[in-house]
Amino acid sequence: MTEFDLVLHGATGFTGQLAAKEIARTADSGLRWAISGRSEPKLQALGGQLGATSIVTDSTDPAACERLVARTRVVLSCAGPYQLYGTPLLAACAASGTHYADLSGELGWMWEMIQSHDAIARRTGAALLPASGFDSVPSDLAVLTLVRELQQKNLPVNDLAGFYRLKGGLNGGTLATGIAQSTRYEPEDLAHPFLLDPDPQQSWEYRAQPPSRKETFSIPALNGYAAPFIMAPVNERVIRRSAALSDAAGRSYGNDFSYSEFMRTSDLNKAKQIAFGMKVGDWALRKPLGRKIMQRFGPTPGTGPSEQTRTNGFVELTVLAGNLAQPDARVDWFFPGDPGNTVTVRCLAQIGLALCAGEARDAGLLTPAHALGERLVERLRERDALLDTF
């Protein structure tokens, strides 16, 4: 028997502290949990506040990571960018059979982890869940929910499209992650639509792809307009991996399944402004000068939006199936709170508690929807972290 049920690593960072408080708020009193990080004084202060044991761990040290995961059944990590600090901890969990989840949205790193650790985790029984925050839990679960509804009604499962409206703030860790990925990878390296599938080339040849759409376009069913969404490249590929893994497990999304994702707004000019802003941001991330400007004027690691901003934030997600004027079915979900902070830590905490409860349905490097399915939807609803109406 391990010493702990769950250890939260990176607990003293901005997002880590929010996650630690969320676990303390929502976990059953019998949960044996601890917090981990590099700074002993910060850990002791936070641990004393929350009643959690503190463990000093350098996540860049493989031996330290091995010692940590040997003491627990589940590890949650808030210590990004993961391509810089995350590999030894994930590798240790894969090797030891310890369940793991993080907040990464780093496509290149996730692809590397699949290549290096998926087979190992399948042998040891570890469920490894990157992208367990705002990217990509809401999209992943909403698509799963709509797919199952369509299948129950014997309706076609094709051309699913997700549309986001949200309000919130940016934290320094998210910005640092974007800069780190742009420094390490060229956009072309991450462009394959089935990058995260078990066999991307086979998926390219046999799986359906969403229809080609303009940069901005109308959404008649929503009385609005669509624009590019910054998280779409991550969410779309995570969801395609969910579909591929579900196919292999006998819970297929169907041969014609496809998914694409966008922002939505009520105004065409606003949609065009979003599209232009996305182009400027993409250019900045590609250029050393642009990245320096972002670092100079953006939030620094360890900082984030105010409590008021986090409280007043929200996420609205609609997923439509079929024709955008008269869809066959739809999901309308509301997540209260700032997306990159409040929604993120609520998703991560419930995933951690679900893993502690033995609810993972598979082993390997998985996705939230494939690993935990409808039970994770129920957990979020039970905590009022997910509402079924705007």
Beta strands in the chain (DSSP E): 4-9, 33-37, 53-56, 72-77, 99-102, 127-129, 160-167, 217-219, 224-227, 259-265, 314-321, 329-336, 364-365
Neighbours of 24 (CB within 10 A): 18
Classify strands 99-102 and 72-77 as parallel, antiparallel or unpaired: parallel
Answer yes or no: are the C-beta atoms of 380 and 347 closer than 8 Å. Answer: yes
- DSSP output for 177-213: HHHHHHHH--GGGG--TTTTSSSHHHHHHHS--PPP-
Closest C-alpha to 237, from 181, 265, 198, 274: 198
Rounded Cα distance between 113 and 94, Å, is: 10
Answer yes or no: are the C-beta atoms of 27 and 348 closer than 8 Å. Answer: no
Render each residue's pLDDT in the chain as its tens digit; 390 residues: 899 999 999 999 999 999 999 999 999 999 999 999 999 999 999 999 999 999 999 999 999 999 999 999 999 999 989 999 999 999 999 999 999 999 999 999 999 999 999 999 999 999 999 999 999 999 999 999 999 999 999 999 999 999 999 998 776 556 666 666 767 777 777 889 999 999 999 999 999 999 999 999 999 999 999 999 999 999 999 999 999 999 999 999 999 999 999 999 999 999 999 989 878 777 666 767 656 776 666 667 767 788 898 899 999 999 999 999 999 999 999 999 999 999 999 999 999 999 999 999 999 999 999 999 999 999 999 999 999 887
- The values of phi and psi at residue 329, to 5°, are -165, 165
Q: What is the pLDDT of residue 69?
A: 98
Q: What is the pLDDT of residue 305?
A: 81
Query: Domain residues of the chain, as ranges?
Result: 4-134+342-382, 137-338
Fold classification of 4-134+342-382 is: Rossmann fold (3.40.50)
Rounded Cα distance between 276 and 56, Å, is: 45
Q: What is the pLDDT of residue 382?
A: 96
Pull the structure tokens for residue 303: 């900082």
Neighbours of 336 (CB within 10 A): 16
Q: What is the pLDDT of residue 144?
A: 98
Answer yes or no: are the C-beta atoms of 168 and 311 closer than 8 Å. Answer: no
The SS3 call for residue 112 is: helix
